[in-house]
Structure 1
Amino acid sequence: MDQVRSSASRIFNITSVEGRDDWDEKCDRTFGVVQNLINDLSEKEAHDALTSAVCKDAKTHEDVCVGLIYVILTDQQNAARSYRDLSFVSRDGLALVLSHLTQLVVERFPRLLDSVRSQLIWLIKELVRANVTGTDMLIWNLMRQIAGGDVAAKNIWLADTLMELLIDQRAWLDKFPFLIASVVYTYLRLIEDHISPTHAFIRQKEINFCVSLLREKFSDCMAIGRDLVRLLQHVARVPEFELLWRDILHNPKVLLPTFTGLSQLMQIRTSRRFLYLRLTPDMEKKIIFLTSSVRFGNQKRYQDWFQRQYLSTPESQSLRCDLIRFIVGVIHPSNEVLCSEIIPRWAVLGWLLTTCTHPVAAAHAKMALFYDWLFYDGERDNIMNIEPAILVMYHSMRPHPAITATLLDFLCRIIPNFYPPMANQVRLGILTSLRQILEKRVLPSLSPLMNNPKLDRELQLLIQESFPEFCRATQNSSPPTADGVKTEDFKELDGDSMIVSSNSESVLAPPSLIPASDTHLSDEPVFSEEEDQDDIPIATKIKMRGKMTANSVRTIPPQLLEISNTVAQLDGDVRVYVEMLISESDIEARCSAVENLVQSISQDPLGSDQSQMLVQCLHAIFLHDLNTTPLLTGHQINPEAMEESISRPLFVLLRSFAEMVDDDSKSRSPIAELLVELYKLQPKMGYFLLYFLRASKASESKFASYREVCQARDMEVAHCLLEDLKICADDDVNLLCYMAVDVFQKFPDESRNNSELLHLYVSNIDGSQLYQLVVQCLLGALVLFDRDPSVIELLGKSNRNSIYATKWFTLGALYGHVVINSI
């Protein structure tokens, strides 16, 4: 009997072959710890015993907290008392409790017993009522467990119960903009699944809830971006949403005074965090495994298993859109994976499209695949979001020609039908996508798709009408392009390539590589196709020739002539971009060259010798720029001067790296190494990066770029800050004071109570600069130190009659008795 009891679980559904896992056994053990502490004690005595126990060490604190969680989840009668005990004895504001609950929700929720699920919802309600920090992310993770395309009773119960909780706690929900957007994204998507009359009641609640949030919190919901429009399209026939659509299209300012209409939403790329939301953690794990670990050709058994598990019911047709958006927007393979035998994304997407049998779901799936094309912008969007769709069409031409034909037909027809008044914008977005595809060498040419003789005649005519720029030329003359190259200069050779004549030079190019004025180079290179080092993209060459006119080319300064031999030894694209930096006088062209250089190095890292030569060249170029035009002439620190100061090639390099770190780009390592090497030749690079982050008003996440550079230098952040700010103090004390707010705000652990750093400021500033710091402290923007004994000790060592000590006491007095009592 004891053996049977020990093998049973009070928290998980366990089959006879599974056995109990570590988490389950830990719960049993910690429950025993709690029981031993409170057995046969009154409520007050039990509370005292628990409080005494958690003060012993961190392990006992964790055991008691987990044990009390276990009681709450498994014993409804004692749940309220256990929650009170948990609230009193927790020493970290219930952070440990939230950590364990999040782990339970993310990793083990599907296995929970029904009674435990009910108690979990009860516990979350209590955490919400107590306004416990971090509960919003626990609810976010729990929403992920509401599976799309699943109308099973347990799934409906979770969706309904969680919605009731959020409706009841609406005032609490309104405090969390990201959670509001996530709730709208989740329940808009679920309305589509709950179309059956048996689910009419919950569907109506979801409709009312979503409409209420959209109308009252539209500014928060706009953070979803273009996928909000996609989901609203799926429910557009619901009367309540019809009224909302009328306001979005014809009276947008009713929703938000700054909202200008549909175009504004479509230009916002949807964050990955929302795309994660509509896949359960288990689905996410399996899709990531499929796209990162399964060899191409061996995927069928994995796909069959996934289809049996998640895609076998009629309701699950809608889940394909969620999967497609996740694969397109979240799974961006590294170059190593792209070069390997791992199944490519386009093959997985092709499988999802071919197994979609419902016509409405099939139309939604195609829309999900092409959605980022419609308003694509090379500067804001990621080419990896448009790469899979073109490759699905390209690779399906022979084995599945119907797939290629239906996708091309959809792409052509979506232009006038997405929203007729915006047909020109949609067409521009698709054309920009196709040009990016060619510039990034996703495909060498679009001719096999656009001029495919196997397509039926009607579709061929439709393609020629929609995309004449990418079909074979049928006329002998046409107006000049935006770059000033007339199309008469294009001489057709064999239908697949042309001679482009410009500035008395000719280059061989596919007809689809003709540049256009709205073409932009992406900052996120991700493709691994091998290229000759001298094989520079034709569009880039033409763009460069167009810019390097007689007016923009400058006389090369003598200081830069010294590196001419080094420049000559650089290879391919890198050499072209460095030559532009040297010879161009137009600042925009030089900044563009740095952007292209960063892109080239990220996509194809340099060898050691080439990297060293590039560092020498860039150091000489940047040093000449700084000598010619100081960072801030006349020490003028104002918005105009700062904006102008960071609009130069050096800061384009720093901006590109900061954006890569912010986007968690896997291709940023070569740029980090480049900055470290530049650091060795130009020690000012550190404070230049800090200055750029301050002057550009960078988001907090971009300050991680400074930490990453410190890590690449194999140095502590505190040490780097001290070194860099000492150099800044030698150069310009005004800049030292200007950066103080960000230094002490964004690096609090390394800067506050740092006696060396504080000494650096106090020993360099004058009376007026001291006044500026005092004002910042009084405004709450600057916190130099807190009530720490080391501050008093430092003050005690100073000469109270010196000017140095006077500055110390002036700043210290702002923080109360710490300094006043020490004088």
Structure 2
Amino acid sequence: MASSLIHKSTYEADNPLESSLIEAFRLLEPELRPPFPLTIRTEPEYFNLNRAILYGILSETHLAKVHLKHLHGIVTDGYCFFTNLVCKVVDELYSKLVENVKVQLLYVSLELVDVSAVGVDSLLVALLRQIRGGDLGESNLWLCSEMVNLLWGKWECLVEEQPMIISSALYVFLRVLSDHCRVCLNSKLKVLKQKEIEFCIRVFKDQFHLCLKIGRDLIRVLQDLVHVPEFHDLWKDLLSRSSDACQLYRSRTCSRYFLLRITPEMETHLRFLLTQVKLGSQTRYQIWFGRKFLNGPEKETVVIDIVRFICCAHHPSNDILLSNVIPRWIIVGWLLKCCTKNHIEANVKLALFYDWLFFEENVDNIMNIEPAILLMVNSVPKYIHMTHNLLEFLFLLVDHYDIDRKDLILKGVSSALDVLKRKGVVQSFDVLTCCDMLSPFLKERLVKMLSCKNVSGFNHLQPVTLA
């Protein structure tokens, strides 16, 4: 009987994807042993043989090379179907896979890179997405190490054929390095950190044009590593080159980079929360989500990535906006309340406001800046401390985020406020400028900033409970 690829409890239903692979293997097992039959197959037969071979590679370690030779001999579509099948396994099953199956999965992925399989870029992205932020477990660190080794070993090939994988990997490893560099668990982690650092530095030195593809969030993630000696001079050099820094600030980061930092499983649950859960019914879903994805001493850091995803990669339709589905700003408010460490809370606020700092109407999307303003205005008066803290943080960013380019940032924030008013996200700003519970200093700063674009007041909104 074929073995299971995944961990599952006694009463858990069979996984459809795993079942399809097992069924194909059982049906075709006699044909998976040399000598292989030389027959012309119909499309359904070809697809089923691909499934059987993949199962053989993942479950029969001792015969993996034989199965791969078989695959090379029968492939007629540039490995397209097979690669897509491996992608599905990564996306749908990775967190449940038995450890030796994960090893085989990396093995077959490396082989697909070697043959320049159609869709191998999507496969590498899928693997990068399984690197979980804030997870210092052995399995997650092993995946980090394997992916760095793969990228390093196939550097020339990837630079020439899949350059966007290099920029994607750079974004991923800059983010995970901020976790890895805050702790020193053992010699294995020390070795991994050094490999990750060397990979990132190589990208900056040899392929700087690919770094620029990331856009403004490159600076945001890099600033978390300023304390690491290898990145300190690089950071100073980048900001000292005014043209490069301004080019990055004015370049909106594509949403696919934000998807890289949350797993497909997490994305599915977040999108369900933001499209199906009704306002007032969200508490139990939030508790479940927190226990599953945020419960751990270092896992809080993934909140930074979740907020960037919510602001920049999940833009609800008009139907959702007009319904009673829980709005994005409430989820962001809840996530901020989940932060127990000051440095993480600060980075979450930066993630929330980052597009405000360089906002240009012809470049940026108003939906990226909507959650922050709605969280501030709807927190009055019940959660006034939230409004106060966010407004205070925004002005701190204006004054201190990049002193050499303060005028650019002031223009960006003013433009953001202007667009939010003109596009009707807010009707006026009276709820903030006329709020007795806010400090006079903050209100004065806000009035001055609004006057830059002649943005008018704001009608009072009914507060909504942050659960």
TM-score of the superposed pair, with normalisation by structure 2: 0.93
Residue of structure 1 equivalent to 2:464: none
5 Å-filtered alignment, 1:349-748, equals 349-456=332-439, 460-465=440-445, 467-470=447-450, 511-512=456-457
Partners of 1:232 and 1:82 in 2: CA distance: 43
Tell me if structure 2 keeps the 8 A contact 1:146–1:158.
Answer: yes
**CA-CA distance at 1:313 after TM superposition:** 1.4
Does residue 169 in structure 1 map to residue 149 in structure 2? no
Tell me if structure 1 keeps the 8 A contact 2:197–2:230.
Answer: yes
Residue among 69, 80, 89 paired with 2:54: 69
Amino acid across the alignment from 1:32 = R
5 Å-filtered alignment, 1:100-179, equals 100-175=85-160, 176-179=162-165
Partners of 2:213 and 2:70 in 1: CA distance: 39
**Structure having the higher Rg:** 1
Distance 1:218 1:38, change over 3 A: closer
Residue of structure 1 equivalent to 2:314: 331
Residue of structure 1 equivalent to 2:461: none
Does residue 301 in structure 1 map to residue 301 in structure 2? no
Cα deviation 1:607-642 (Å, max 9, x = unaligned): xxxxxxxxxxxxxxxxxxxxxxxxxxxxxxxxxxxx
**CA-CA distance at 1:38 after TM superposition:** 5.0
Cα deviation 1:304-346 (Å, max 9, x = unaligned): 0111111121211211110000000011111111111100011
**CA-CA distance at 1:400 after TM superposition:** 1.1
Tell me if structure 2 keeps the 8 A contact 1:346–1:391.
Answer: yes
Residue of structure 2 equivalent to 1:13: 7
Distance 1:429 1:151, change over 3 A: same
- 1:224 alignment partner, SS class: coil
User: Which segment is superposed worse, 186-195 or 170-179?
Assistant: 170-179
Partners of 2:303 and 2:428 in 1: CA distance: 30
- Structure 1 residue ranges (4+ consecutive) displaced by more than 3 angstroms after TM superposition: 510-513
Residue among 41, 56, 63 paired with 2:41: 56
Residue of structure 2 equivalent to 1:93: 78
Residue of structure 1 equivalent to 2:177: 191
Tell me if structure 2 keeps the 8 A contact 1:450–1:470.
Answer: no
Tell me if structure 1 keeps the 8 A contact 2:359–2:412.
Answer: yes
Distance 1:174 1:469, change over 3 A: closer
Tell me if structure 1 keeps the 8 A contact 2:273–2:285.
Answer: yes
**CA-CA distance at 1:466 after TM superposition:** 5.8
Partners of 1:30 and 1:469 in 2: CA distance: 65
Partners of 2:295 and 2:31 in 1: CA distance: 50
**CA-CA distance at 1:32 after TM superposition:** 2.5
Tell me if structure 2 keeps the 8 A contact 1:13–1:112.
Answer: yes
Amino acid across the alignment from 1:322 = D
Amino acid across the alignment from 2:218 = L
**CA-CA distance at 1:157 after TM superposition:** 1.0
Amino acid across the alignment from 1:180 = I
Residue of structure 1 equivalent to 2:190: 200
**CA-CA distance at 1:251 after TM superposition:** 4.3
Amino acid across the alignment from 1:171 = E
Partners of 1:449 and 1:122 in 2: CA distance: 57
**CA-CA distance at 1:165 after TM superposition:** 1.2
Tell me if structure 1 keeps the 8 A contact 2:215–2:251.
Answer: yes
Cα deviation 1:518-568 (Å, max 9, x = unaligned): xxxxxxxxxxxxxxxxxxxxxxxxxxxxxxxxxxxxxxxxxxxxxxxxxxx
Partners of 1:511 and 1:345 in 2: CA distance: 25
**CA-CA distance at 1:432 after TM superposition:** 0.5
User: Which segment is superposed worse, 18-27 or 134-143?
Assistant: 18-27
Partners of 1:38 and 1:81 in 2: CA distance: 9
Residue of structure 2 equivalent to 1:235: 225
Residue among 215, 237, 244 paired with 2:234: 244
Residue of structure 1 equivalent to 2:266: 283
The one of the two structures with greater contact order (alpha-carbon pairs below 8 A, sep at least 6) is: 2
Amino acid across the alignment from 1:323 = I
Unmatched runs of 5 consecutive residues or more in structure 2:
459-467
Partners of 2:145 and 2:330 in 1: CA distance: 36
Residue of structure 2 equivalent to 1:219: 209
Partners of 1:465 and 1:321 in 2: CA distance: 27
Partners of 1:422 and 1:380 in 2: CA distance: 19
Partners of 1:442 and 1:178 in 2: CA distance: 35
Partners of 1:77 and 1:312 in 2: CA distance: 38
Amino acid across the alignment from 1:204 = Q
Cα deviation 1:198-220 (Å, max 9, x = unaligned): 22221121111111112211111
- 1:371 alignment partner, SS class: helix
Partners of 2:269 and 2:32 in 1: CA distance: 44
Distance 1:19 1:448, change over 3 A: closer
Tell me if structure 2 keeps the 8 A contact 1:412–1:463.
Answer: no
Residue among 17, 22, 26 paired with 1:28: 22
Tell me if structure 2 keeps the 8 A contact 1:374–1:430.
Answer: yes
Tell me if structure 2 keeps the 8 A contact 1:33–1:64.
Answer: no
**CA-CA distance at 1:15 after TM superposition:** 1.0
Amino acid across the alignment from 2:275 = S
Partners of 1:132 and 1:403 in 2: CA distance: 50
Partners of 2:449 and 2:298 in 1: CA distance: 41
Residue of structure 2 equivalent to 1:182: 168
**CA-CA distance at 1:130 after TM superposition:** 2.0
Tell me if structure 2 keeps the 8 A contact 1:72–1:83.
Answer: yes
Distance 1:469 1:137, change over 3 A: closer
Tell me if structure 1 keeps the 8 A contact 2:50–2:82.
Answer: yes
Tell me if structure 1 keeps the 8 A contact 2:215–2:253.
Answer: yes
- 2:10 alignment partner, SS class: coil
Cα deviation 1:230-283 (Å, max 9, x = unaligned): 10011111111111112212247xxxxxxx221110101011111111010000
5 Å-filtered alignment, 1:252-291, equals 260-291=243-274
Tell me if structure 1 keeps the 8 A contact 2:433–2:446.
Answer: no
**CA-CA distance at 1:451 after TM superposition:** 3.1
Cα deviation 1:100-140 (Å, max 9, x = unaligned): 11111111111111111001111111111222232121011
**CA-CA distance at 1:511 after TM superposition:** 3.5
Tell me if structure 2 keeps the 8 A contact 1:345–1:388.
Answer: yes
Cα deviation 1:469-528 (Å, max 9, x = unaligned): 537xxxxxxxxx99xxxx9xxxxxxxxxxxxxxxxxxxxxx8449xxxxxxxxxxxxxxx
Partners of 1:251 and 1:272 in 2: CA distance: 26
Q: CA RMSD in A?
A: 1.8
Partners of 1:33 and 1:402 in 2: CA distance: 64
**CA-CA distance at 1:450 after TM superposition:** 2.5
Residue of structure 2 equivalent to 1:80: 65
Cα deviation 1:60-92 (Å, max 9, x = unaligned): 111222111111111111111110110111111
- 1:18 alignment partner, SS class: coil
Cα deviation 1:401-438 (Å, max 9, x = unaligned): 11110001011111120111111110110000001111
Partners of 1:130 and 1:273 in 2: CA distance: 25
Tell me if structure 1 keeps the 8 A contact 2:215–2:248.
Answer: yes
- 2:62 alignment partner, SS class: coil
Tell me if structure 2 keeps the 8 A contact 1:447–1:470.
Answer: no
